[in-house]
Structure 1
Amino acid sequence: MARGNKTKPVIEMTKWFDTNYHHIVPELSGETKFIYSSHKAVSEYKEAKELGIDTVPVLVGPVTYLLLSKGDKSAPKGFDTLSLLDAILPVYKEVITELKEAGASWIQLDEPKLVMDLEAAQFEAFKKAYAVLGELPGVKLLVKMYFTDLPSKAYQTLCELPIAGFGVDLVRYNVLVSTSCSLLHCAVDLKNETKLDVELKSWMAFAAQKLLEVVAIAKVVSGEKDEEFFSANAIALESRRNSPRVHNKAVKELAATLAGSELRRATSVSHRLEEQQKYLSLPILPTTTIGSFPQTPELRRVRREVKSRKISEEDYDKAIKAEIDSVVKLQEELDIDVLVHVEPERNDMVEYFGEQLNGFCFSANGWVQSYGSRCVKPSIIFGDVSRSMAMTVYWSTYAQSVTKRPMNGMLTGPVTILNWTFVRNDHPRSETCYQIALPIKDEVEDLEKANVTPEHADYLRWAVHGFRITTCGVKDTIQIHTHMCYSNFNDIIHSIIDMDADVITIENSRSDEKLLSVFREGLRSAHLHDINSPRIPPTEEMADSARKMLAVLESKVLRINPDCGLKTRKYGEVVPALTNMVNAAKPLRAALAKLKSRR
């Protein structure tokens, strides 16, 4: 289901609320039958119990599970997944009963959907679900929410449920001290970080350190305050408040000035697209990709060896240029219209920029789960952000020099950099976003001066404003292309359009074209290939997806491309998939040209 095969497309994947953890979106219908098949929660509880550890099993709650699901292809339009509540509750009763029989006295049910803006019927679903589950004897149910404040209506609903505790967990007048959400989203232990200096480490807390803080706070209430622990904490906070490593007056002042402005490009998108078409001379339905190509073991070895100084900068330069030469030639052979420089010099789309920006540091072992077995190692923003020199111009300029076709200049946008890092907590996230936007703005303008034409920046109010800061200073012929993937976009589509990008591409290959209803309002890309699956879609399947796009979009604004960068795939998968993509575009292009000539 998660990876697909030759005959079955992959199931949609999206982010777990506003984290960088991903989950597969269950596909349900009125005919769905729920069966208790996996006993994973019980076996893991028993495993911990055998080691002498008393744990609280954690399950995703039934209402959140259904609200995060969607109707499958057989379901009627407007299918309400909550209509399956009666069908799924017996399975939850089986799981809870088996956990109780294994010895669990507390069971935590995560219901983060309660922090969202819900309708009356959805609140009634919570009441119905926990009226059933609350009847189970001999077990205490703890309902947890996280990621933002609890709305008043949700609080009122929780107070009516027959559960033992919720939220910050008030149980029989005892206060339970806990982390705000699962530690899944944290790195494990600062003790593993031998390359970070002592001062920087004193300002941080990974999962192990957060648990020490939880214990220390809990002990204060019972009169057992660890004076040495709290004193060290106070010294670290004071150090951070006054450190020149953290604070840059000029950056703060400029970010504050831009935060209060209404920066955006001077002309409309439609006018700019006309100017860009004259400048770029692209065909109907131009084909392109989203940045990166496969990162081979040899490429990783070269980057690793230049960092460890096993090879010279000159040898590294030659190796990266050879890779660019090779993959630019491949793109030309595949007959792709707008090329990318394939990012061979970049280890990670955020870390690469962070390494060239002031205010960032990097862990050696700070891995967190993204989805399945895939983990990421987020960069850390500890201070004010600024740029010392151009970050991408050298390689983008070289790539443009070896082809006559347009070359995308590839930048990671300020919102993605913000959300894919561990961010300092001593001032608002919006301020950090504006600070990141400043060097990205400078980079966009440097690429313009270097004649690298289309710009690609990966991506509410301050998020949109931060993006517009980066793009407001370039001329009409520079095409700003923003890409987004694996999130829920329908509710914020107007904010996405307000970013004022020329080309907006949103992952749609896993979503079964569910975003087509909002494409009428300004999106301009057909994603025909899901890069997170090894499956190679047939040409006709890709062409069919493009036709569905053409039913709601004008051909003059539509682009054909995969749904994300190709870094994690192999060339044996990438080449046939891109071949099929180009072969899907060409007959459609010819048919549209023929139709136009008849008019």
Structure 2
Amino acid sequence: MQTQNLGYPRIGSQRELKKAAEQYWAGKLSAQQLMQTGSSIRSQNWQLQKEAGIDLIPCNDFSLYDQVLDTCLMTGAIPQRYHDLMHNRQLPHIDLLFAMARGYQKEGYDITAMEMTKWFDTNYHYIVPEFSANQQFTLFSNKVLNEFIEAKEQGIAAKPVLIGPVSFLLLGKEKEPGFHRLELIRKLLPVYIEVLKKLEDAGAYYVQLDEPCLALDLTEAEQQVFAKAYQELRNKTQLRIILANYFECYGNNLSTALALPVDVLHLDLVRCPSQLDDILSTDLPSSRKILSLGVVDGRNIWKNNFETSLHLIGKAAAKLGAERVWIAPSCSLLHVPCDLDLETNNTILTPEIKQWMAFAKQKIDELVNLKQLASGEINASAQIKLQENIAAHQNRKTSALIHDPAVKQRVNAITSNDANRNNVFAERKTKQQRSLNLPLFPTTTIGSFPQTAEVRNWRQQLKKGQLTQEQYDEFIAEETAQAIHWQEETGIDVLVHGEFERNDMVEYFGEQLAGFVFTQNGWVQSYGTRCVKPPVIVGDVSRPAAMTVRWTSYAQSLTSKPVKGMLTGPVTILQWSFVRDDQPRRDTCTQIALAIRDEVVDLEKSGIAIIQIDEPAIREGLPLRRSNWNDYLQWAVQAFRISASGVKDQTQIHTHMCYSEFNDIIEHIANMDADVITIECSRSQMELLDAFAAFSYPNDIGPGVYDIHSPRVPSQHEMVQLMEKAKAVIPSSQLWVNPDCGLKTRGWPETKAALEEMVEAAKSLRATVSANA
């Protein structure tokens, strides 16, 4: 019996990678210094796992930005628009990687970034590969080989990790019509084979190929591509292949997966424990395949239930023999914080709650403890850990921190009226237009403005007691006033207060809701250098007091233009938190919806006429298997409607969604019945609007006209062109003009320049419509 880890957090326990990369972008750190930071993080991760006793330690799970983008570089799948940079400018690999991720706007170049979207149903974002019909692949980057050698030199018998070739293609997009990207598999496989041979020559024994697309509903043709691809790999390499699937069962792909000529099959038994029985009932026991049992949750922070895991491990070992059973996390530990030991403030995370948790470092220890217990080792330490584990789980079941009868009673009293506005959208829109008097193509932003170093410093000083609450509030008031006055001068139609008092769009609300707890250093990577510190939902959720009314009302008092109230929706708060696992997620989501509803009603009472309830994560929460969609969408849409339906017709409800594919769920998006939806569209060049047009979406839409995840400033002409594409499929009377997302991570100079261009674009669009009237 062995332990293996599928991947480890790469940001560093103190977010060293984030800080170094951003200093490099700012010209304050050299490329060599950035690479040294990466090397240090890798070394620390490897040594930690080695010292803990992990048998198979991953390498190439580290990335300066994203593992799928790394695969694009490895295979030479570099979009044509970057080729001039590569050849004429001889851009170093590190700068090419960042240009592809973030765009490139200097030295006379103005190159857009690659598209970014969610990694399955997680809050991690990956860079979407771009494929053309004449796509050529070549080994462009030796990163995987270099990191294997680096680990080997440090005494680590590492297991290289790669995105599998079929999932790599499926995760991408065709950038021209007339072909399917899986047709490229024959061109792609020689690069993979070349990489595997180099690893084999360097001394590798195992290689982990991640094929998470085996968790999706695949066609028979797609399953055949898997079969042919892996037979080709098997024919060309002696490396022992670990096939890793996660986030769901193999489902209808199980027979395909079992027939693949691989040596180890990994199962996510956290998301789908039932698949173990399915597999053990096949002829797999008579083969020589090893099963890797993903029993430790790689996506949540709760302590593993040793009794449950040992039962699953024992069942597999009894059927296969202990030598054919490995113990692993369900997926890469990329999705959890680094180290619970860094949580030293007992007032933030009490000892009672902390004993229920495990971060990446602790999950590594859990794997080793489970191996010792499952192997029958007489180990006093492991036995103590088992008893501690049992006691912690019993304590959590009976803790008074978990249950609030008043919250449960309120949920049980919900009726259909609580999830419906008073009238249909057409009637509401007439009333809203009469009271708001907005122009054609009204302009707005998504909510947040730049959180400068000064703003963040104020927050830190407040936490450290170096500022009084009164002093801090004065700073926030001044920053808010400046933002309001600048928006008025610029000519934006619907203003925002800027959210300078907020840290994270979920954490800020969680701090004010009952049922949540927080961490000091529970950071996880969302994309690139963007790290978030998700709240932890430990118990029943309610709203003790108003959360946003003060600063929104203050901002509204400074202007005659409407100021949007800005809230995070119940599904997004759920998705972007570490959620309690002792009740159905729908129940927790409904509790949050009622809390947000209370805030919406209070904002309306305070005179706020437009309220935005952001739901960027609603598509992210969609189950991977289509058969499970309807159940999720029913309760997710209902939760949003509960949060939004306590107001009068005159109050305009907005929602925002980003990096989502809407085609398959457009009817449900319409059922949310938001008066205005704003969506990410610029990176996809308005492709996402096709779903809204085909469906004849009845409500108003704000398709994002510029990518806020890139530092480049788009021109008025570029934004007008994008809106012309929108006008071609959506009536002008339904269109708003806005950025893709919030501007929190941008700097003020680029923000002001881009928004000024945006306002001018809206004016140009109005003039064109007026001239053609």
Shorter-chain TM-score bucket reads over 0.9
Residues in 1 aligned to 2:350 and 2:156: alpha-carbon distance in whole angstroms: 34
Does the residue aligned with 2:578 lie in a helix, a strand or coil?
Answer: strand
- 2:225 aligns to what? 125
Post-superposition Cα deviations, 1:242-272, rounded to whole Å, max 9, x if no partner, equal 1111211111232244398872223212221
Q: Equivalent residues in 2 for 1:222-241 (5 A)?
A: 222-224=375-377, 226-241=382-397
User: Once the two structures are superposed, what CA deviation does each residue of 1:323-350 show, in whole Å capped at 9, x if it has no partner?
Assistant: 1110100001110000000001001111
Q: Give, as a single letter, the amino acid of the residue that structure 1 aligns with 2:203.
A: G
Residue aligning to 2:52: none
Query: What is the Cα deviation at residue 409 of structure 1?
Result: 0.2
Q: Provide the residue aligned with 2:750 in structure 1.
A: 573
- TM-score of the superposed pair, with normalisation by structure 2: 0.75
Alignment equivalent of 2:113, drawn from 3, 6, 10 = 10
Task: Decide whether the 8 Å contact of 1:437 with 1:470 is kept in 2.
Answer: yes
Give 2:759's aligned residue. Answer: 582
Deviations 1:399-418 (A, max 9, x none): 00000001100001111111
Q: Which residue of 2 aligns with 1:480?
A: 653
Residues 449-470 of structure 1: CA deviation (Å, up to 9, x unaligned): 0111111111122211111110
Correspondence 1:104-183 to 2 at 5 A:
104-151=204-251, 153-168=252-267, 169-170=290-291, 173=321, 174-183=324-333
Are the counterparts in 2 of residues 340 and 408 from structure 1 also a CA contact under 8 Å? yes
* Residue 193 (structure 1) aligned to one of 325, 337, 343: 343
Measure the CA separation in 2 of the matches of 1:447 and 1:262: 18
Report the CA distance between 1:491 and its aligned residue.
Answer: 2.1
Match of 2:671 among 469, 477, 498: 498
Counterpart in the other structure of 2:10 = none
Q: How does 1:51-66 map to 2 (within 5 A)?
A: 51-66=154-169
**Letter of the 1:48 counterpart:** A
Distance 1:256 1:113 in 2: 38
Number of residue equivalences: 592
1:43 aligns with 2:146: yes
> 2:411 and 2:239 mapped to 1: Cα distance?
52
Per the alignment, residue 214 of structure 1 pairs with: 367
Map 1:452-531; keep pairs closer than 5 Å: 452-459=608-615, 460-520=633-693, 521=695, 522=697, 524-531=701-708
Aligned structure 1 segments of 4 or more residues deviating by more than 4 angstroms: 259-262
The letter of the residue matching 2:166 is: V
Match of 2:190 in 1: 90
Q: Distance in 2 between matches of 1:575 and 1:464?
A: 35
Offset at residue 593 of structure 1 (A)? 2.8
Distance 1:515 1:461 in 2: 22
Q: CA RMSD in A?
A: 1.6
The structure-2 alpha-carbon separation of the partners of 1:330 and 1:262, relative to structure 1 and needing over 3 Å to count, comes to closer
Given residue 553 of structure 1, which amino acid in structure 2 is its aligned partner? I
Q: Which residue number in structure 2 is paired with residue 414 of structure 1?
A: 570
1:149-197 Cα shifts (integer Å, max 9, x gaps) = 221x210101111111212352875111111000011111111110122
Partner amino acid for 1:202? Q
SS at match of 1:504: strand
Q: Classify 1:259/1:175 alpha carbon distance in 2 versus 1 (closer, same or farther; 3 Å).
A: farther
In the alignment, does 2:426 pair up with 1:270? Answer: yes
How far, CA to CA, are the matches of 1:388 and 1:262 in structure 2?
20
Distance 2:215 2:428 in 1: 40
Counterpart position of 1:70: 173
Which stretch of the first structure deviates more once superposed, 381-390 or 587-596?
587-596
CA contact (8 A) 1:288 1:336 kept: yes
Q: Percent identity?
A: 50
Are 2:324 and 1:324 aligned?
no
Q: Is the 8 A contact 1:256 1:431 kept in 2?
A: no
Structure 1: stretches of 5+ with no match in the other structure: none
- Displacement, 1:294? 0.7
Deviations 1:404-458 (A, max 9, x none): 0011000011111111111111112111111111110100010010111111111
Distance 2:574 2:675 in 1: 22
Q: Secondary structure at the match of 2:677?
A: strand
Quick one: which amino acid aligns to residue 486 of structure 2? L
Of stretches 92-101 and 305-314 in structure 1, the one that deviates more from structure 2 is 305-314
Q: Distance in 2 between matches of 1:262 and 1:454?
A: 20
SS at structure 1 position matched to 2:337: coil
1:368 — aligned with what?
A: 524
Contact 1:187-1:207 within 8 A present in 2 as well:
yes
Match of 1:313 among 469, 484, 501: 469
Q: Are the aligned partners of 1:259 and 1:434 in contact in 2 as well (CA < 8 Å)? A: no
Is 1:390 aligned to 2:546, yes or no? yes
Instruction: Give the TM-score of the pair, scaled to structure 1.
Output: 0.96
Number of the residue aligned with 2:126 = 23
3-state SS of paired residue (1:341): coil
- Structure 2: how far apart are the matches of 1:319 and 1:485? 31
Letter in 2 for 1:555: S
